[in-house]
Amino acid sequence: MTDERLFHPSDDLPFGEVLWRDADKATRTGLLSLAEHYSRVDGFFALTIVPRYSVVDPAGLYEELGGMFLQVRSRRSDQQKGLTVLRLAHVQRRLEGSVAICPGRFDGVWLVMTDMKRSSDDYRHLVEPVLQLMASRAPGAWLSTADTQEVLYELEERLHLKLTPGRVISSNRERSSIEYMKKRRSLADVFGELRERELVLRSLDFTAFGKGSRLVLAAGIDRWMRLKYRGGSRALLDDHLVSAVEAKLRQHVRRLDVPREDALSGRPIVFRFSRAVLTDRSRNRELVDTLATLPNVSVCAFHLNPYLHVALVDYADGSNMDIFADDPVTLSVIPGKRCSVAAISRAFNAVYAHFASGQIAAVENVEIGS
Amino acid sequence: MSRKSTDNFSRNQVADAFSNYDQSVEIVCCWHSWFADVDGAVFDHYPCVDIGGVDCTPDFLVSFDEGYRLVGELCRLSMEHKGFKSSVEQAIGYSNLSPETDVMLLVPHDYADQAEKRMLDEGLLRTEADSEPVVVLSFVRTDANRVTQWVFKRPTQFRKVSFRDQFVGELSLHRKMTVTLEGLKVPPKYWRDMKIRFPLCNDQPPALYIACVLWEKVFSAMLTDDDYVRYRIEKLRHLPLHVTPQTVREACEEQLGVKVKTGWIRDALELLEEARLAERPNKTKEEFDIKFGKVLVPGSTHNELHLLILDRLFGNGEPEPGADSAPQQETLFSGPPSSE
């Protein structure tokens, strides 16, 4: 437990301040241990972990972009290469907080960690907008309900324990309602109901208890791959849950990061629907409307039916792409010369969350030239 | 302000011109992808050739190692006497490129047989094997059972003239169009990538069409990362983009690898000005300030860029009947369309 001693938890100081004070000694393990300590003494403590993909250290990006409207100070750890703690302040709003950015298990994967609550003003002004601005160069990812199910089932298997779902939030594809499931039941029940009612899982909190009602893990996951650590073993969290989303993020980015020339040579980026959905003119139009109603996007349908050819430009970062469908289950994307993984991810997310279920196909599974 | 681009046209006519041009883009891409697989054939998507001292821009030109050349010309023929004659004569004139040049005259399926007959009746073409080296082919897009294909065939067998490309063997058009009569059926997988690579063909695009291509595929790359960051942090209504036809031309070349005529770009920019999506602070200069960003039209039920621009040009009242129906293959014929 040498790691734990690198940080000195303090009863008087909140987690974020200790993190900043001891930044030079920070390590990934030490930071999670500190969080474990705070979770034991503070019933409301939660550590948010947001995975991001970036070929360069995203701490520099955070400083550059966040620095445009926040006060950002940074300190690098002497103990772990690539780990940076940022102290953020929004002077007018009198908000302050710390964020750690730490290299993940795979090249390009990074973890943004903070004790700011996601619903708090702190997070909303100090973290959320910066992560959004960073997205074109450091994209995150989203999880389909099936992906989340896979992650959580695997976690159960690795822990040899059943997870007890707590608050479950889902929505339907018509954006008309958000559903809360509070009743205690099994994970299988929850996913069964989501599937049956064709709901999209937004977030799920859970606990796992061991023998004698000992808390093994209390955590949450949402469809933006953000994890919430509430308590229990930080080692189990890191080894079995954080690692799983890191792998999912890497997979997501790999599937979307296809150069234009490759995509134009018969290897487009593919979203495959779970069943035939592009079956008539009105369904095709619905898909176009789904994309067109994204807040920062314009689409032009060069052709609507029966095959679909849409051009999309995303004003968040200037990405553009062509979207094409000539069978009822496959959507192909050919990125423009200027096109970010984040923009394609957003487009597919809209299709998944508001049009129809499906998944981003693995590149190797895309049939070539057929 | 002059309404150059849309003067004297109804909303429906402008919308039809948009779909017709999109079809032309696809048809040229069909042939491009076909000849990409023919050994020794080089396809020119944007030909400009000197024929008898005049610069001509047919829709495509294929040059073969053997010296044979094929000029492709798409004709949505006007049935009005003078217009019909002049467009056919122009296409026939392309055969003067060289003695080894054939012309493929592509005519909409709906009236291709009548049109070919009329060319014979009017003495524009003759039937003998050694007469004008022009082969009329019909084109039509079929969507039966939601399977799309572009189909190309000889509409009649009145003439003994055929393509002189027998040396190509199995893939010769003489064989496909004249001997076996099987024609050519081209599903999207063959032209999809081509259409994305070549979003314009050699014909002058309607201003609305090229405006949409520029808006969707070119303008966004004329701004820097910092411009986008500022747009978001300062919550600007749109991204200001200062352009001239020349700078847009350069961006087209950079983004699409296509050299676009400055005049076409000017038409597009003027259309955007008309639609209040661009401003021209100094009318004597060719400088435009584009308000790049999500196009909104209060009260409109439309979501797609070209329809929103039409709303801005024509008002966003209810579309005229049929405006939202599938585009007709042909709109120049007054009679009822033949069954599809």
The radius of gyration of chain A's CA atoms, rounded to the nearest angstrom, is 21
Domain holding B130: CATH number? Answer: 3.40.1350
| Helical pair B81-93 and B109-121, crossing angle rounded to 10 deg | 90
Contact A108, A250 (CB under 8 A): yes
Query: Of B196, B213, B247, which marks where a domain is finished?
Result: B196
Architecture of A2-134 per CATH?
2-Layer Sandwich (3.30)
Chain A residues touching B306 at Cβ < 8 A = 300-301
Looking at the fold, whether B112 and B31 belong to one and the same domain comes out as: yes
pLDDT at A174 over 70: yes
| Structural domain contains residue B276 | yes
Residues of B engaging A, defined by a Cβ cutoff of 8 Å: 19, 22, 143, 146-148, 187-189, 192-193, 195-197, 212-213, 215-217, 219-221, 223, 225, 227-229, 231-233, 239, 254-256, 292-295, 303-306, 326
Band of pLDDT at residue B318, cut at 50, 70 and 90? low
Looking at the fold, whether B224 and B132 belong to one and the same domain comes out as: no
In angstroms, the CA A86 to CA B9 distance is 60
Looking at the fold, whether B168 and B65 belong to one and the same domain comes out as: yes
pLDDT at A366 over 80: no
| Structural domain contains residue B17 | no
Chain A residues touching B196 at Cβ < 8 A = 264, 322, 324, 334
| Structural domain contains residue B12 | no
Which of A302, A304, A312, A314 to mutate: most B Cβ within 10 Å?
A302
Stretch 46-75 of chain A: residues touching chain B, C-beta under 8 Å:
65, 68-69
Domain coverage including residue B268: 204-294
Stretch 117-136 of chain A: residues touching chain B, C-beta under 8 Å:
132-133, 136
CB atoms within 10 A of CB A14: 14
Band of pLDDT at residue A178, cut at 50, 70 and 90? confident
Domain holding B265: CATH number? Answer: 1.10.10
Question: Which residue in A has a C-alpha nearest to residue B149's C-alpha?
Answer: A307
Boundaries of every domain in chain A: 2-134, 145-256, 260-365
| Structural domain contains residue B329 | no
Q: What is the pLDDT of residue B8?
A: 77
Looking at the fold, whether B136 and B220 belong to one and the same domain comes out as: no
Q: Between residues B165 and B79, which one has the greater pLDDT?
A: B165
Q: What is the pLDDT of residue A116?
A: 97
CA distances to A261, B32, B212 from B194, in Å: 12, 8, 18
Looking at the fold, whether B72 and B118 belong to one and the same domain comes out as: yes
Lowest mean pLDDT among A104-113, A146-155, A176-185: A176-185
Q: What is the pLDDT of residue B4?
A: 53
3-state secondary structure of A227: strand
Looking at the fold, whether B260 and B113 belong to one and the same domain comes out as: no
| Structural domain contains residue B180 | yes
DSSP conformation letters of A292-306? HTSTTEEEEEEE-SS
Looking at the fold, whether B42 and B165 belong to one and the same domain comes out as: yes
Band of pLDDT at residue B325, cut at 50, 70 and 90? very low
B236-290 pLDDT, tens per residue?
999 999 999 999 999 999 999 999 999 999 999 999 999 999 999 998 889 999 9
A157-168 pLDDT, tens per residue?
999 999 999 999
DSSP conformation letters of B176-196? IIIIS---EEE-HHHHHHHHH
Its pTM stands at: 0.92
The total domain count for chain B is 2
In angstroms, the CA A122 to CA A167 distance is 23
| Structural domain contains residue B305 | no
Looking at the fold, whether B42 and B186 belong to one and the same domain comes out as: yes
Q: How far apart are the first and last CA of chain A?
A: 57
Contact A233, A307 (CB under 8 A): no
Mean pLDDT of chain B: 90
Contact B268, B274 (CB under 8 A): no
Q: Which residues contact B76 (CB under 8 A, 6 or more apart)?
A: B20, B107, B108, B330, B332
Lowest mean pLDDT among A81-95, A111-125, A354-368, B80-94: A354-368
| Structural domain contains residue B308 | no
Looking at the fold, whether B284 and B231 belong to one and the same domain comes out as: yes
Query: Of B155, B175, B196, which marks where a domain is finished?
Result: B196
CB atoms within 10 A of CB B322: 12
Looking at the fold, whether B131 and B247 belong to one and the same domain comes out as: no
| Structural domain contains residue B60 | yes
pLDDT at A301 over 60: yes
pLDDT at B2 over 90: no
Q: What is the pLDDT of residue A125?
A: 97
In the DSSP assignment, the letter for residue B304 is B
Query: Of B166, B196, B226, which marks where a domain is finished?
Result: B196
A52-100 pLDDT, tens per residue?
999 999 999 999 999 999 999 999 999 999 999 999 999 999 999 999 9
Ramachandran quadrant class, B8 (left: phi over 0; alpha: psi -120 to 50; beta: rest): left
Looking at the fold, whether B164 and B68 belong to one and the same domain comes out as: yes
Six-digit token string for B294 = 């999500």
Looking at the fold, whether B148 and B222 belong to one and the same domain comes out as: no
Q: Which CATH class is domain A260-365?
A: alpha beta
In angstroms, the CA A134 to CA A128 distance is 10
Cα four-point dihedral sign A78, A82, A83, A88: positive
CB atoms within 10 A of CB B257: 10
Q: What is the pLDDT of residue A364?
A: 57
CA distances to A47, A311, B8, B65 from B240, in Å: 40, 21, 31, 49
At A89, give phi and psi (nearest 5°). Answer: -145, 140
Q: What is the pLDDT of residue A60?
A: 97
Q: Which residues contact B280 (CB under 8 A, 6 or more apart)?
A: B273, B287, B288, B289
